[in-house]
């Protein structure tokens, strides 16, 4: 058996040490673990040799060597507890070398005659004889072990997350190993010179190595807090019971045998101790076993109150539907306590408003007013613990007792929420015919407030659900009305667009004819016109021209809004378009004595993909507005520049400017700007020119923006994408 343990421990510890070390060779934790694994392997070999030798002197030497190796083993444990799971040694040099000095001194002490003075023959083997130095050895080794446990527990309490999981494994392995070593090796060797369990020491250490290596390498699989707690509890329990039993048994036998030691060997003590521990461990299971047997004989209807409360709480948390909630609660109560009938009844102002019942009964139909009266009588606001009616505890005869008898009710419990009576829980007789026990009554008193709250929440849920249904119906009706109104508005809008389009077409033809005849009357008349008549004809001509312009604008707006405006794009040199606009409006500028500057040079090219006529209309509107609002002696500039893949063309004037708050209105339909802050008079217009210009530029993937301050003129800038980016390129 010893050789099997030796091979298992040596191979396992070596493999585990190398495996953990290779997982991260630079980690201080992994290095200490490797040293610990190697020491355990060496310790196992020395223990085996000390047990296998037949020489007394060699046994003494090997026992001392075994004890000596235990010192660095304990030191390695201490270092591991101090460092784990960090990659660096969390200890100052002063502390480290002080610890090394202490352990080296203790190792030298183990080779002296003070720890083990000799070995004696015990049966067919040798047993070491402890000396006074064993106390110093025990203090050093056990002190290091205690410090290790304290460090580990403190770090375990403060740690979080993954580190706490790792320390869980370390703690359970360390406590199991230390407990087994102290119980089966240290006490027997130190007190009784018994080495029967020494060969198992390496196996205990292997348990620690396994849990620690798992914690270092694979630490995310299991949360072992419960296992640690139970393992520590059982180990402490076994240790306490064993020590108490040994002490009591030793004292009793000591006095019975006339103050002589009752135990000649360790086996005389171990066997009864093991029996005592077995009795201690089997006490609770045996108690529960016999309790179940007696309960079946004397309490056929017995149930666990905690289990019933748990089932009721789970049922109340599983649904918010009032009927499902009450049915579930009643089914659990009736099946567990063995009741033939039960109901949850809701009342309002002494009137039953809702009821849900379960169970079989041959009773008459419940009388609403009597049940509501019983529930009301069961509620005693000033006597909280007496809020219950129990038929068997009512003395004498009364109308209330007769009513409970007529309805087959045994218990009535009011359901109260915030001192408001919302209903009652009524229960019939037990199926077995027995009366309700004090345990049943106390349980129902505990359950009633929870049922009341659950029922109130279910009622609130039902009210909210009904409100939501009503609200949803109203929203649907309102939505349908809005949809119909929207459809009607779309129809009216379409009719409006069609009317504007037709009217514009019909008006444009006669207005054009009127304009033509007026022009002929003014310029081609064979008779010389008198001045007043010529003036009136000129006014009529200009008014007709404005009216035609308005009709054209309205027709364009109608087409834009119906998405029927036609844009025929083609490569266009925007400079040519600007030149045409400049030539057309230069005469008007000269007549108004306005300096009109065209800053492009002849031959420049900025190619855009555009509808030439539509782009020309945009700049005619912009320059026309500038001419309209620029006073005599003012200046208008038409210029541009290339910016990235776009061309920016600006029209600046020295007019009255535009207030900041009015600039957002410029590109809206029929917008008019108030120039009362300026000496410049308001000019007549349709308010459609800038709106149309904005829409046309947008259809060309461009934009228009304005920069202006009151009294400082305005700059309108049109941004259009270039088709060819070779700006300022001559022909």
Q: Distance (Å, rounded) from C-alpha 56 to C-alpha 118?
A: 9
**Strand, coil or helix: what is 422?**
strand
| CB-CB contact of 345 with 423 (8 Å) | yes
- Cα 156 to its chain centre, rounded Å, is 27
**pLDDT attached to residue 221:** 33
Last residue of a domain, one of 199, 221, 243: 221
Residues 582 and 600 in one domain: yes
Residues 291 and 369 in one domain: no
Residues 216 and 231 in one domain: no
Residues 574 and 718 in one domain: yes
Q: Give the CA count within 13 Å in the CB-facing half-sphere of 501.
A: 14
- The domain spanning residue 411 has which CATH number? 3.30.450.40
Q: Distance (Å, rounded) from C-alpha 331 to C-alpha 357?
A: 10
List Cβ neighbours of 190 (8 Å cut-off, separation of 6 or more): 130, 134, 138
In a domain, residue 483? The reply is: no
| CB-CB contact of 339 with 428 (8 Å) | yes
In a domain, residue 719? The reply is: yes
| CB-CB contact of 99 with 75 (8 Å) | yes
**pLDDT attached to residue 161:** 65
Paired tokens of 412: 């009535």
Structural domain span for residue 245: 224-295
Phi, psi of 708 (to 5 degrees): -160, 150
In a domain, residue 534? The reply is: no
Angle between helices 225-256 and 161-181 (to 10 degrees): 20
**pLDDT attached to residue 233:** 53
| CB-CB contact of 89 with 79 (8 Å) | yes
What's the domain count of the chain?
Answer: 4
**pLDDT attached to residue 145:** 78
| CB-CB contact of 619 with 649 (8 Å) | yes
Peptide bond into 170 cis (omega under 30): no
Q: Distance (Å, rounded) from C-alpha 182 to C-alpha 235?
A: 11
**pLDDT attached to residue 638:** 93
State the virtual CA torsion across 233, 237, 239, 242 in degrees, nearest 10: -160
**Ranges of the chain whose pLDDT falls below 50:** 218-231, 259-260, 263, 265-267, 677, 725-731
Q: Residues 660-674, buried b or exposed e (16+ Cβ, 10 A)? A: eebeebbbeeeeebe
The per-residue pLDDT for range 105-129, each reduced to its tens digit, is 888 888 888 877 777 766 666 667 7
Residues 129 and 245 in one domain: no
Number of Cβ atoms within 10 Å of the Cβ of 485: 10
Residues 719 and 642 in one domain: yes
Number of Cβ atoms within 10 Å of the Cβ of 372: 21
Residues 710 and 604 in one domain: yes
In a domain, residue 469? The reply is: no
Residues 213 and 232 in one domain: no
Name residue, tokens 């205690």. Answer: 146
- The domain spanning residue 96 has which CATH number? 1.20.1070.10
Q: Distance (Å, rounded) from C-alpha 225 to C-alpha 171?
A: 10
Residues 290 and 311 in one domain: no
Q: Strands 411-417, 125-130: parallel, antiparallel or unpaired by DSSP?
A: unpaired
The per-residue pLDDT for range 305-361, each reduced to its tens digit, is 888 888 888 888 888 888 899 999 999 998 888 888 899 999 988 888 888 888 875
Q: Distance (Å, rounded) from C-alpha 336 to C-alpha 358?
A: 14
Q: Distance (Å, rounded) from C-alpha 394 to C-alpha 97?
A: 84
Last residue of a domain, one of 442, 460, 478: 460
How much of the chain, in percent, has pLDDT values that exceed 90? Answer: 12
Q: Distance (Å, rounded) from C-alpha 539 to C-alpha 103?
A: 121
In a domain, residue 399? The reply is: yes
Residues 230 and 364 in one domain: no
**Three-state SS letters, 461-495:** HHHHHHHHHHHHHHHHHHHHHHHHHHHHHHHHHHH
Q: Distance (Å, rounded) from C-alpha 571 to C-alpha 724?
A: 9
Phi, psi of 639 (to 5 degrees): -145, 170
Number of H helices, E strands in the chain: 19, 14
Q: How far is CA 88 from CA 26, 95, 165, in A?
A: 9, 15, 19
In a domain, residue 351? The reply is: yes
Degrees, nearest 5: CA angle 410-415-417: 165
**pLDDT attached to residue 246:** 60
**pLDDT attached to residue 646:** 92
511-520 contacts at long range (C-beta below 8 A, 24 or more positions apart): 511/544, 511/547, 511/548, 511/551, 512/548, 514/544, 515/541, 515/544, 515/545, 515/548, 518/544
In a domain, residue 612? The reply is: yes
Closest CA to 611 of 569, 577, 582, 551: 569
In a domain, residue 513? The reply is: no
Residues 79 and 209 in one domain: yes
Last residue of a domain, one of 221, 255, 285: 221
Residues 327 and 402 in one domain: yes
pTM for this prediction: 0.36
Q: Residues 103-132, buried b or exposed e (16+ Cβ, 10 A)? A: beebbebbeeebbbbebeebeeebbbebee
């Amino acid at each position: 058996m010893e050789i099997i343990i030796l091979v298992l421990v040596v191979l396992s510890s070596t493999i585990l040490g190398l495996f953990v070390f290779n997982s991260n060779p630079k980690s201080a934790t992994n290095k200490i673990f490797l040293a610990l694994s190697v020491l355990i392997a060496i310790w196992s070999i020395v223990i085996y040799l000390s047990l296998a030798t037949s020489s007394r002197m060699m046994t003494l030497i090997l026992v001392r060597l075994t004890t000596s190796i235990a010192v660095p083993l304990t030191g390695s444990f201490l270092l591991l507890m101090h460092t784990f799971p960090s990659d660096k040694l969390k200890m100052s040099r002063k502390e480290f070398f002080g610890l090394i000095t202490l352990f080296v001194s203790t190792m030298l002490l183990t080779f002296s005659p003070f720890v083990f003075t000799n070995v004696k023959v015990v049966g067919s083997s040798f047993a070491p004889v402890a000396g006074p130095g064993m106390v110093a050895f025990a203090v050093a080794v056990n002190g290091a072990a205690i410090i290790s446990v304290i460090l580990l527990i403190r770090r375990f309490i403060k740690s979080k997350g993954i580190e706490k999981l790792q320390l869980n494994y370390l703690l359970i392995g360390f406590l199991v190993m230390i407990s087994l070593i102290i119980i089966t090796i240290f006490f027997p060797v130190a007190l009784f010179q018994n080495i029967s369990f020494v060969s198992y020491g390496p196996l205990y250490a292997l348990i620690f190595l396994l849990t620690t290596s798992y914690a270092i390498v694979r630490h995310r699989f299991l949360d072992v807090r419960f296992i640690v707690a139970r393992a520590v509890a059982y180990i402490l329990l076994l240790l306490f019971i064993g020590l108490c039993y040994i002490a009591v048994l030793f004292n009793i036998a000591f006095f019975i045998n006339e103050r002589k030691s009752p135990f000649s060997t360790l086996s005389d003590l171990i066997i009864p101790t093991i029996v005592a521990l077995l009795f201690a461990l089997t006490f609770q299971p045996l108690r529960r076993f016999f309790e179940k047997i007696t309960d079946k004989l004397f309490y056929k209807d017995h149930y666990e109150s905690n289990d019933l409360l748990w089932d009721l709480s789970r049922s109340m948390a599983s649904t918010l539907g009032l009927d499902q909630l009450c049915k579930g609660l009643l089914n659990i109560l009736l099946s567990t306590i063995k009741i033939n009938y039960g109901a949850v009844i809701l009342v309002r102002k002494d009137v039953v408003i809702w009821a849900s019942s379960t169970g079989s009964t041959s009773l008459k139909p419940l009388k609403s007013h009597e049940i509501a009266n019983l529930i009301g009588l069961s509620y005693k606001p000033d006597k909280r613990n007496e809020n219950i009616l129990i038929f068997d505890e009512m003395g004498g005869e009364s109308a209330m007792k007769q009513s409970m008898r007529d309805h087959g009710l045994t218990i009535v419990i009011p359901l109260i929420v915030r001192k408001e009576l919302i209903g009652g829980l009524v229960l019939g007789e037990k199926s077995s015919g027995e009366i309700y026990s004090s345990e049943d009554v106390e349980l129902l008193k505990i359950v009633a407030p929870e049922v009341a709250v659950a029922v109130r929440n279910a009622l609130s849920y039902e009210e909210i659900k009904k409100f939501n249904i009503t609200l949803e119906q109203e929203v649907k009706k309102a939505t349908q009305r809005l949809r119909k109104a929207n459809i009607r508005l779309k129809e009216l809008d379409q009719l409006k667009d069609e009317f504007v389009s037709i009217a514009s077409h019909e008006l444009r033809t006669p207005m054009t004819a009127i304009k033509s005849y007026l022009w002929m009357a003014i310029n081609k008349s064979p008779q010389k016109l008198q001045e007043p008549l010529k003036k009136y004809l000129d006014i009529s001509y200009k008014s007709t021209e404005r009216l035609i312009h308005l009709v054209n604008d309205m027709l364009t707006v109608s087409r834009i809004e119906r998405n029927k405006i036609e844009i025929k794009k083609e490569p266009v040199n925007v400079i040519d378009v600007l030149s045409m606009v400049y030539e057309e409006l230069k005469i008007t500028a000269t007549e108004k004595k306005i300096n009109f500057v065209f800053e492009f040079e002849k031959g420049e090219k900025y190619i855009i993909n555009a509808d030439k006529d539509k782009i020309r209309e945009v700049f005619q509107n912009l320059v026309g507005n500038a001419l309209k609002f620029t006073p005599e002696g003012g200046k208008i500039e038409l210029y541009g520049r290339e910016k990235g893949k776009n061309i920016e063309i600006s029209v600046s004037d020295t007019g009255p400017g535009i207030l900041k708050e009015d600039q957002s209105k410029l590109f809206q339909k029929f917008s008019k700007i108030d120039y009362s802050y300026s000496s410049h008079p308001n000019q007549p217009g349709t308010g459609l020119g800038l709106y149309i210009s904005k829409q046309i530029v947008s259809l060309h993937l461009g934009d228009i923006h304005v920069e202006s301050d009151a009294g400082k003129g305005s700059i309108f800038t049109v941004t259009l994408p270039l088709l060819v980016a070779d700006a300022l390129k001559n022909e």
